[in-house]
Structure 1
Amino acid sequence: MIDIRRARETDAEVISELFHIAYGDSYFYPQYYDIQALKRMILSDDTLFLVAEDSETETVLGTASVVLEVGAHADLVAEFGRLVVHPKGRGQGIGSQLMQARIEFVQDRLHVGIVENRSAHEFSQRISHQHGFHPVGLLPNKFQLGDRESAALYVCHFGHALELRRNHPHLIPEVYPLAKLALENCQLNCDAIIEAEPRAYPHFHQFEVQEMESELYPVLLRFERGRIKQREIFGRMRLHYGLFQLRASHAQYLLAYRDGLMVGAIGFSIDEHERTGKIFELVSLDDSPIYFLVSELVRRCREEYSIDYLEADVSAFSPQMQQTFLENGFLPAAYIPAMIFHEVERLDVVRMVCLLTTWNGDSLQVFEPGKAIADLVDQSLRLRTALPKLMQAVNTAPLFAGLSEEQQQYVAASAELETLEEGHVLFRPDDPADKIRVIISGEVEIQNCHGKTVGTIGVHESLGDLASVSEPSHRVSARVKSEGQAMLFSRDALQQLVHTRPDIGMILFRNHACELADKLQRMNVHALFKQE
């Protein structure tokens, strides 16, 4: 028989031992090895610690906790985590019992519960899903456990949280697919409005930067109180928490000055053990220092702080801030509905991640309900590696002539990079016409149904476009004549692109018509030459 009870101060040593057994010395929160730190957390009102105990032997076989008030301004957000079961207790449903008990203890005290489940196995993901938590994101390489390990982010809403949710978030196109999946997973209709032509904050660089020292705290506090109009970045910490709390949490600020006057500040915390960072606040006199502060922090994380993972929770109602983070190397990794309490409503949040280490998603083990979101984040990360080559193709191929820089980035983000191996047949007659390629390098030979060559597709030209527009299947075959690379669009991806960005669709259709006319003329001349 297993009893679930609140942890007592005397349980600290047993809890620490459980983490040693489960993780060795590499658990990503070292305070769970520290007996005194554990005792303080057990006695704290901000942390709920539970243990699972064998009623006969009084042996502690598992533990789990809830960190309350992880949001600023009493956002009623709690993190469910630190679930550990002793090997002797596995297979007895202890993990599920601990999750159910945690919910019963704290559900009257919060609106939003979040869980960062390990992605190395499905155990914790299954437990979260069984107890009403829904997958809303994948946090890539967030944890340091030997090699870096990702987390599947799950969320559960309590009380009146969803009734207080503000409708119709405004999202940049890169965030929308993730938001749609997350909202649907939470049984919500996707009511997001896509910003067709998002603009980042302006690029200015004429600022001096200073790290905040103790004597600057009162100055920055007065500055912040007078400058916050509409918060766009959220986090547990705030400058109002006080200098002592900021120091205790390893929080720092970079201050931007122009002509000796403070014009902006970005607050962030660094975990040197985990090599991770989180942006929790950004305040400014006007729009001018915002882009600079984000860029400068990313540079320092990469070059000075040796950070592998940096995240920020961005308002789903601020496409300008979303675009600013995107242009500075961040990608949308999670979408959390109704996470932040602001004035009289709860706002959706986009968790954006800047990965400063190599991504390899091959070891992911994602529970079925979260696979679509995990695949989407994985695809975005892999695309980021291929993006320079794709951008080069967009810059030079006639099909994309006339696109603005922002439009080019959006098109490149909708494609995949494909390797073309010499002799490989890309499609044959009657194969589905569901892909369009733009050749980056190499050549592709087009043959009719009799095996005769009727044309060659070279660098910067498109392949499969005629069939995908006019017919469901191909009437010719395509074979790689010389190896190279291609920019690959699925028909669905192209249709989604045109649907969400009609401004891009108009340009593509115009260029497509011109290229088809040129291609057909060349093929007719080639056929005429063959007859002669």
Structure 2
Amino acid sequence: MTPELQAATPADIADLRQLYYAVYGPHYPAGLGTDPAEMARLIQDPHTHWLVARRPGTGALVGSAAVHGELVSRIGRLEGLAVHPEHRTGGLAGALTEALCERTIGTGLLDSVYATVRTVSAGPQRVVARNGFRALGILPNAVDLSRRESLALYARHSSGVLDRRVPVPEVPAPLTPLLRAVEQSLGVSYADTRATAPLPAPERPAAGRLETIEAPAFVRRRFRERFPDADGWFCPLHTPNVLLMPDDGHFEVYAYVNRTGSYCALIAAHPGPAAAAAWLEPITRTLTRAGASYVEALVPLDRHDLLSAFLAQGFIPSALYPAMRAEGYGFHDYAVMTHTNEQIDFRGVVVDGPLQPYLDSYASAWASTYLPTLEVAS
């Protein structure tokens, strides 16, 4: 019999925790499946659509998935997709995914929904692909579960959104393979985007050190004071819990650090990202000491200067999210720049066909960043 899909309620929390333990073991890094208080908050959050699947007759909870949306950015994140190991052959994961997309993208509530998908097998990639999601990149060493795992980035757009992308005149040349992969995956074109040499690394004063503030409530208040609306920052669906600044205080960098999964997202910089562009290496080292082996940042594709600064300081273009941010009638593309301080080992990664060009793209970008150019003397 087909499981019944229902909205999650606080009464489901105990069963949900057992489900996520059965699927992921004791290493699931998100509060959505492990923290009762966070789960209760999300279930009651009007911007979160959380569905559970119950077996008819017994009422046993056998599946779960949620889309957490943000009205300002009109972006959603598909998360917590879990199906009990005994019920994985009936298309339940796809049914949960499609039902959530119908309630968000299908109703015009959101412009796009993205998902980060495990690469330990091709199954999760095929589930989202069958439900209209398209591959956007690979995020090496992105999360620490039972071991360090790479994730794949997928997204599904509302009808007509990709047609309203704002043109990008030029990008640093190391991003070219990534653009070609996106063209192949989504059918969009970057034929008018020039590939030019990256700019030199920005100079940083020799003196100076970074201070770190890890007081989540204070960081949130300070962040909202600095960025009272979404115009000065863009990292949807993340709330900062760490603040970094040099001892002279001429900039502030806000980040979200998840120590359970050992990853970090750079969220914003005040007075602007250019002010901190020369400090990316020490910022990354500081975040690594704070427990983040993987650091990522969203960078506008039309910011050649910022992309060059990230490239010059060890970040790799790992994914590209076309039409991610709405501005007026148009939509802006964003690159996902990533840095990992652990050895990358793709031998355990399983990629379905649409994801293979991104693996090749990452390898090419990594080589251009970390391998020296050899000169042959005659």
TM-score (norm 1): 0.64
In the alignment, structure 1 residue 254 sits paired with structure 2 residue 239 = no
Q: Which residue of 2 aligns with 1:196?
A: 196
Q: Partners in 2 of 1:35 and 1:112 — Cα distance?
A: 28
Q: What is the alpha-carbon distance in structure 1 between the residues aligned to residue 212 and residue 166 of structure 2?
A: 36
Q: Distance in 2 between matches of 1:344 and 1:2?
A: 41
Whether the 8 Å CA contact 1:199–1:323 is kept in 2: the answer is yes
Q: 1:215 to 1:129 in 2, by over 3 A?
A: closer
Matches within 5 A, 1:200-215: 200=200, 202-205=202-205, 206-207=207-208, 209-211=210-212
Aligned letter for 1:282?
Answer: A
SS at the partner of 2:142? strand
Aligned residue number for residue 93 of structure 2: 95
Asked if the contact 2:138/2:152 (under 8 Å) is kept, the reply is yes
Question: Per-residue deviation at 1:235?
Answer: 0.9
Q: 1:430 is matched with which residue?
A: none
Superposition pairs for residues 318-337 of structure 1, below 5 Å? 318-337=303-322
Aligned: 1:263 with 2:263? no
Counterpart position of 1:282 = 269
Please report the RMSD computed on the Cα atoms of aligned residues, expressed in angstroms. Answer: 2.8
Given that residues 181 and 373 in structure 1 are in contact (C-alpha distance below 8 angstroms), is that contact kept between their aligned partners in structure 2?
yes
* Higher-Rg member (1/2): 1
State whether residues 65 and 96 of structure 2, in contact with CA within 8 Å, keep that contact through their aligned partners in structure 1: yes
Structure 2 counterparts to residues 265-414 of structure 1, below 5 A: 265-284=252-271, 289-302=275-288, 304-381=289-366, 387=371, 390-391=372-373, 393-394=374-375, 397-398=376-377
Q: 1:162 deviation in Å?
A: 2.0
* Contact 2:3/2:54, CA 8 A, preserved across alignment: yes
Tell me: CA distance 1:216–1:82, structure 2 relative to 1, closer, same or farther (3 Å): closer
> In structure 2, what is the Cα distance between the partners aligned to 1:65 and 1:274?
19
Rounded Cα–Cα distance in structure 2 between residues aligned with 1:87 and 1:286: 44
Partners of 1:183 and 1:341 in 2: CA distance: 20
Poorly superposed stretches of 4+, deviation over 6 Å: 213-225
Return the alpha-carbon distance in structure 1 between the equivalents of residues 151 and 78 of structure 2: 13
- The letter for the 2-side match of 1:305 is A
Deviation at 1:54? Answer: 1.9
Question: 1:315·1:349 contact (CA, 8 Å) conserved in 2?
Answer: yes
1:178–1:88 distance in 2 versus 1, CA, 3 Å: same
SS of residue paired to 1:109: coil
Contact 1:265 1:282 in 2 (8 A): yes
CA deviation after TM superposition for structure 1 residue 195, in Å: 4.4
Q: Secondary structure at the match of 1:336?
A: strand
Extract unaligned runs of 5+ from structure 1. 239-248, 399-514, 516-532
Instruction: Provide the residue aligned with 2:49 in structure 1.
Output: 48
Contact 2:174 2:365 in 1 (8 A): no
Change (3 A) 1:91 1:327: same
Cα offset for 1:133?
0.8
Residues in 2 aligned to 1:370 and 1:153: alpha-carbon distance in whole angstroms: 9
With normalisation by structure 2, the TM-score equals: 0.89
Q: 1: distance between equivalents of 2:291 and 2:101?
A: 37
Structure 2 distance, partners of 1:195, 1:383, is 14
Counterparts in 2 of 1:263 and 1:221: CA distance versus 1, 3 Å: farther
Cα 1:42–1:373 shift into 2, 3 Å: same
* Equivalent pairs, count: 371
Task: Return the alpha-carbon distance in structure 1 between the equivalents of residues 60 and 162 of structure 2.
Answer: 40
Instruction: Give the whole-Å Cα distance in 2 for the aligned partners of 1:353 and 1:169.
Output: 23
SS in 2 for 1:307: coil
Distance 1:132 1:217 in 2: 35
Task: Choose between structure 1 and 2 for higher RCO, CA contacts under 8 A separated by at least 6 residues.
Answer: 2
**1:87, 1:186 → 2: CA distance?**
32
Residue 27 of structure 2 aligns to a residue whose secondary structure is coil
Distance 1:216 1:268, change over 3 A: closer
Q: 1:100 corresponds to which letter in structure 2?
A: E
How many Å separate the matches in 2 of 1:220 and 1:132? 35
Matches of 2:33 and 2:43 in 1, distance apart?
11
Residues 181 and 361, structure 2, Cα contact 8 Å, conserved in 1: no
Letter in 2 for 1:9: P
Unaligned runs of 5+ residues in structure 2 are: none
- C-alpha distance in 2 between matches for 1:61 and 1:319: 47
Q: Kindly tell me: are residues 63 and 221 of structure 1, through their superposed partners in 2, closer, same or farther at Cα, counting changes over 3 Å?
A: closer
Q: Distance in 1 between matches of 2:258 and 2:219?
A: 23
- Conserved? CA contact 1:203–1:291, under 8 Å: no
Aligned 8 A contact 1:271 1:277 in 2? yes
Q: Distance in 2 between matches of 1:175 and 1:129?
A: 24
Identity among equivalent positions (%) equals 20
